[in-house]
Every structure is written in structure tokens, then in C-alpha cells.
Amino acid sequence: MSPYNTVVLHSIQYSIMNSFGKRLRTCREAKNLSQQEVAAKLKTSYTVIGKYERDEMIPSVEVAKKLSKLLDTTVGYLLGETEEVNLLKDPAMLKRLNEINSLPDEEKKSILLTVDAFLRDAKTRKAYA
């Protein structure tokens, strides 16, 4: 690997790690979990969780999946790929969206218009509550 590629790779890893650690800590604290509690659920030590949070280590894909499930978020959020903490983490909702997407265009349009109306009404109720 060329020195340039090594620098780019380290830069990308640092960006991912930095984002991951901060987001991991924020999610853990939002769930009122200690590093020890997270470590126990993952069958690791709290020092490993601390290293993730300080961006000293990158977890494996499997560990990132376990962390996202435990903290009720997505791997994409922890990695900084999205700003949405809860984006499509609900498998039932994702399944419904995929089913809607597979419908003929006219049926899909009807469903989306109905959903849009419900969302508009909910926002209006919330605004005047």
C-alpha cells in the first residue's frame, strides 16, 4: 500500500472512529447504561467499551450490530452514516415499507397519500396541543 493510501485509510478510520465513539457514548447515556452494564451484556470488559467511546478501538461489525440493538439505534447512526438515531430500526416498519414499495404504482400512490394525510393531521394536532 502506498504511503498516500495509508494516510487516507487512517484518516477515514479516524473519522469513523471519532464519530462512532461520540455517538456510542451519547446513546449509552440516553439509555442510562454504564460502561459496565453494556460490557456485561456484550460479554466483554468495561475497558473495551471505554476504548470504543474514546475512539481508541473500532468494534467488529458483529459487535457494532450488538451495540446498536442494545442501544436501540442503528449501525448506520453509530457509524455516522445518518443523523437519524431511529431510522428504520423497526423491522416491522421496514417490512411494511418494502411491501408498499412492491405494489403497483397506483396502489402505492393511494397508500402514500393516506399516510401523508395522517402525518399532516398528527403534526397539526401536535402544533395546537
Residue 17 pLDDT: 43
Residues 78-107 as b or e (16 or more Cβ within 10 Å = b): bbeeeeebeeebeeeeeeeeeeeeeeeeee
Cell of 2: 502506498
Looking from the CA of 19 toward its CB, the CA atoms found within 13 Å total: 15
pLDDT digit of tens for each residue in the chain (129 aa)? 555 444 444 444 444 444 789 899 988 988 899 999 999 999 999 999 999 999 899 999 999 999 999 998 888 888 887 766 665 556 677 778 878 888 899 999 999 899 899 999 999 998 998
User: Whole-angstrom Cα distance, residue 71 to residue 64?
Assistant: 10
